[in-house]
Chain A
Amino acid sequence: MSDERDDTQPTGPALGKDEWVARFGANRVRRSGALGVLEQRLATVSWWAWLTLFVAVIAALPLGIESGYVRRVAFDTVVLMLLALGLNIVVGWGGLLDLGFVAFYGVGAYAYALLASDHSGIHLPSILLIPLVAVIGALAGWLVGLPSRRLLGDYLAIVTLFFFQIFLTVTNNGDNVFGASITNGPNGLLNIDPLSFFGWTIPRSTSEGLFNVAYIYVALAFFGVVYVALRFVNESRTGRAWRSLREDPLAAEMMGMPVNRLKLLAFAFGAGVAALTGTFASALNGSVFPQNFEFPLLITVYTIVILGGQGSQVGVVLGAVIVSVLLEVLRDANDARSLFYVALVLGLYGAFRASTRLVVVLGGTIVLGFVLRTVAGAIDGSWTAGTAEDAGRAAHLAAEWVIVPLEPARWLAPAAYLVLVTLVLGLTLVGGRLRLAALVPTLYLAAFVWENVLLAKPEATRYIVIGVILVGLMIVRPNGLLGEKRVEIV
């Protein structure tokens, strides 16, 4: 991993890297002053110290905050982190586009549910069951990989997608396999045993119905183990082989690498991690349903891996935290509103830095808002008589600046949304003063659409944001936040 190497020291061209990329760190101007010193000091802290700190921070979270909501989100975040680590093996290291990944999470969850619930009458102890399920998952990955291993790129993607669909069809119809109920179909499996170790059962919720913190610690423990294990795998011979497979499968084969075996290994490892995650997720939820493992989850995990940076373990963990928190913040209109305006201002700052242009654009937008709102209010009072979504000071402020009609016409939302999308896309085509000038109305329109259209349906908005992140990242920064910059030498 690139973040292992000390970028500040100029080294020769690293093996397998373009020279320019290798010298990139050295070419970067080193920060001066206290920040620079701090940065250098931080650079000497080893990875396991960071890992311990990270785990400790999450572990401390429930101590300070009693809210069961935060605990639940923390748990879900750890689940996403583990899934992202698993997908990172297949996509980030192996370079294989596996669109069936979430099915292995499902296999794990269903395997746990079947081997520890009243439905089947089997109640295996967790200590035995969890490794068993991980192995089952890895085997399933191996089996799916077996026929797919000869396929490349897109064909692999589509075959794995079919396996995903087959998994869904089977679980959905498993309530009537020649009359026997295996998966209980769409009604799902209920009353799954909670985790129990050495006869000591961990209840799901405390006596007050609150989320049991112990599950966060269990999940964190798994996270720690998986993270460290994968780190060693990545630095082993297999890990290096995977990366060469990703960069150029043909060349890798020429160099005598067992390409097929490597692909299968990547599949099996990824599937094993996913299945492992499925065990304690289904133990906590107490139920599994086929719909737990549908397409939106797959896209979410992909977004995490892409955002964090394919191939970087630190990156995908960070990506999981960001995406998970982002999706939660977007749920609530007030938080989503703050996030939107902060992101807008930060984005402008990122683009213009502290310059007159920043002042012009920001000031222009603010003035334009007040002017338009006054004009609209003067023409027809009902145009500005609406109230913004959710109460609170921010909502009040926003409604003073943005036009919020009382009863918007039915065509208004689609029209405004379409115009906004067109304007934003158009902005990427023009440059110079024109862009600057067009930016002001676009920003105001964005605020208008955000207040009137997007906040009204936070559920759809969340996934629209995910879609935009995926496309935008691919174009602007395909290596994500912490991914290794890949240079294709043609």
Chain B
Amino acid sequence: MRKRGTALALTIAVTAALASTVGSASAASQAISCKKTLKIGFISPLTGGAGFLGEQQVSWVDLAVKQLTPAGLKIKVVRVDTPVEKGASEGLIAAQKLIADPTVVAVIGPATSGAVAAATQAMFDAGLAHISPSATRTSLTKGDKKEGTPAFFRVVPGDYIQGPTDANFMVDKLGAKKVVVIDFQEPYSAGLADAAEAVLKKRGVSTTRLSTSVTTTDFSSLVTKVSSDTDIVFFPAQQPADANTFAQQLIEQGKKAKVFGGDGTNDPSAFKVAGSYVSNFAPDITGYAHTKALVEAWKADNPSEKTVGSFGPPGYLAAQVAINAINLACNAGGGSIADRREVLRRVKKISVKQSILGIDFKFSTKSNDPLNAKFYIFQIQSDGSYKLVG
């Protein structure tokens, strides 16, 4: 019986510990002083199979906060991990945690489309703007069954641009007659593959859809299924190493098909089989004069990273939008923000001249998508460099 006494004591102690660590923060809508530290939430997978995504993004978000926080404001980034292995519902859990803290005035993320779908309603109810640097599912901002709420924004264009851009390029420029489309049984590739396949079919291209598990890395039997008269394999993997391996195994088995990867495979240090194609939302941020200083600053902060991945820079832009909106709200409120909605209302109006992604950034008036965003297509050269071809 002594055990039970101990048990109870422990339980109470632990509960008390939990209560004390969190503090009794009240989330009632009271004005938030801009003199205090304001927080920006960051929701992305930081561990698990997609951990690289959050790691890349957060390094750029941190850089943006460091560089762009206006004088007089203090901004801190609160990271919440949503490993894809634990499901998109983690997005909602993360959102609820951030909503609970009244000094969180904007959110970068959620990174994955599933997490956005799970979390957006709660954040809308709380008036919390969430700006995703990587959720590209079309139905988040478009269509009859729109999944995103008006509080959801994204700084990268959705699959509705990338899929068709890629597909049209295959038909118009590459003259593809036969295309194999592959997905990896996870939302990102499934969405892109669907979007591209639809256009290809409409334009009379013969398509074959293959599907493999995201945990697979030896693709030799998939490669065997690619018939020898196939022109292109559309391969929207999240990991550039996968696309690289697939392209190598195509060569190994003597297939003439070329790999066409999505923005997830855009990484000159990991995907470098000559002749392959890659699409991305930015021409190459290291190629602009105006981003040179940014890239240098980022490299100084992240000495262990070899290359600028493709998922990171949109994080900078998303943070830039959030910080500008917070600043506007603070100025309008005379040193305090009456409500998170004050920030949310201003996000839509933000525009960034010569953004990190190359274009002048602005939200579309019709949906919370970036205006004039387009995708760029590169061909990998024999020296491993990416040449802009469309």
Interface residues of A (CB under 8 A from B): 3, 6-8, 38-39, 42-44, 47, 50, 53-54, 57-58, 61, 64-73, 76, 169, 172-173, 175, 185-188, 190, 204-211, 285-297, 314-315, 318, 321-322, 325, 328-329, 331-332, 335, 407, 410, 457-460, 463, 481-482
Residue of B nearest to A58 (CB): B15
Complex interface: chain B residues within 8 A of A325 (CB): 14-15, 17-18
Complex interface: chain A residues within 8 A of B99 (CB): 68, 209-210
Complex interface: chain B residues within 8 A of A68 (CB): 27, 96-97, 99-100
CB of B187 within 8 A of chain A?
yes
Complex interface: chain B residues within 8 A of A460 (CB): 47
Known: A53-B8, A72-B97, A460-B47. A67 touches B22 (CB 8 A): yes
In the complex, A169→B211 CA distance in Å? 12
Number of A-B contacts (CB under 8 A): 205
In the complex, A436→B190 CA distance in Å? 57
Complex interface: chain A residues within 8 A of B7 (CB): 314-315, 318, 481-482
Complex interface: chain A residues within 8 A of B87 (CB): 188, 288-294
Complex interface: chain B residues within 8 A of A188 (CB): 87-88, 114, 117-118
CB of B350 within 8 A of chain A?
no
Complex interface: chain B residues within 8 A of A58 (CB): 15
Interface on chain A toward B: helix, strand, loop, or mixed SS? helix
Q: Within B17-45, which residues are at the interface with A (CB < 8 Å)?
A: 17-19, 21-29
In the complex, A54→B85 CA distance in Å? 32
Q: List 11 A-B pairs, Cβ < 8 Å.
A: A3-B3, A3-B4, A64-B24, A68-B27, A172-B185, A186-B187, A187-B117, A208-B126, A209-B127, A289-B89, A292-B88
The minimal Cβ–Cβ distance linking A481 to chain B, given in whole angstroms, is: 7
A291 engages B18 (CB within 8 Å) = no
In the complex, A448→B182 CA distance in Å? 46
In the complex, A147→B3 CA distance in Å? 39
CB of B365 within 8 A of chain A?
no
The minimal Cβ–Cβ distance linking A75 to chain B, given in whole angstroms, is: 9
Residue of B nearest to A482 (CB): B3
A410 engages B8 (CB within 8 Å) = no
Interface residues of B (CB under 8 A from A): 1-5, 7-8, 10-12, 14-15, 17-19, 21-29, 46-47, 51, 80-81, 83-89, 92-93, 96-97, 99-101, 113-114, 117-118, 121-128, 137, 147, 185-187, 190-191, 211, 213, 303-304
Complex interface: chain B residues within 8 A of A210 (CB): 27, 99-100, 126
In the complex, A190→B140 CA distance in Å? 12
Complex interface: chain B residues within 8 A of A175 (CB): 190
B2 engages A7 (CB within 8 Å) = yes
B18 engages A66 (CB within 8 Å) = no
A332 engages B190 (CB within 8 Å) = no
Known: A54-B11, A481-B7. A296 touches B1 (CB 8 A): no
In the complex, A423→B272 CA distance in Å? 42
Contact with A204, one of B19, B88, B122, B213 (Cβ below 8 angstroms): B122
Complex interface: chain A residues within 8 A of B113 (CB): 187
A54 engages B24 (CB within 8 Å) = no
Known: A173-B185, A329-B21. A211 touches B15 (CB 8 A): no
In the complex, A294→B2 CA distance in Å? 37
Complex interface: chain B residues within 8 A of A286 (CB): 92, 118, 121
Contact with B10, one of A289, A291, A322 (Cβ below 8 angstroms): A322
In the complex, A71→B27 CA distance in Å? 12
Apart from A66-B24, A459-B83, what are 17 other A-B pairs with CB-CB below 8 Å? A3-B1, A42-B2, A42-B4, A50-B8, A67-B22, A67-B24, A70-B100, A72-B97, A186-B185, A205-B96, A205-B125, A209-B99, A209-B124, A289-B118, A291-B86, A315-B7, A331-B80
The minimal Cβ–Cβ distance linking B276 to chain A, given in whole angstroms, is: 25
Complex interface: chain A residues within 8 A of B122 (CB): 204-205, 209
In the complex, A468→B83 CA distance in Å? 21
Residue of A nearest to B24 (CB): A65
The minimal Cβ–Cβ distance linking A2 to chain B, given in whole angstroms, is: 8
A292 engages B86 (CB within 8 Å) = yes
Known: A3-B4, A54-B11. A67 touches B118 (CB 8 A): no
In the complex, A210→B92 CA distance in Å? 12
A42 engages B1 (CB within 8 Å) = yes
A64 engages B19 (CB within 8 Å) = yes
Residue of A nearest to B151 (CB): A209
B93 engages A76 (CB within 8 Å) = yes
Q: Identify the interface centre among A66, A69, A71, A460: most chain B CB within 10 Å of its CB.
A: A69
Complex interface: chain A residues within 8 A of B4 (CB): 3, 42-43, 47, 50, 314
Complex interface: chain B residues within 8 A of A315 (CB): 7
Residue of A nearest to B126 (CB): A209
B89 engages A69 (CB within 8 Å) = no
Q: Identify the interface centre among B26, B92, B127: most chain A CB within 10 Å of its CB.
A: B92
The minimal Cβ–Cβ distance linking A480 to chain B, given in whole angstroms, is: 11
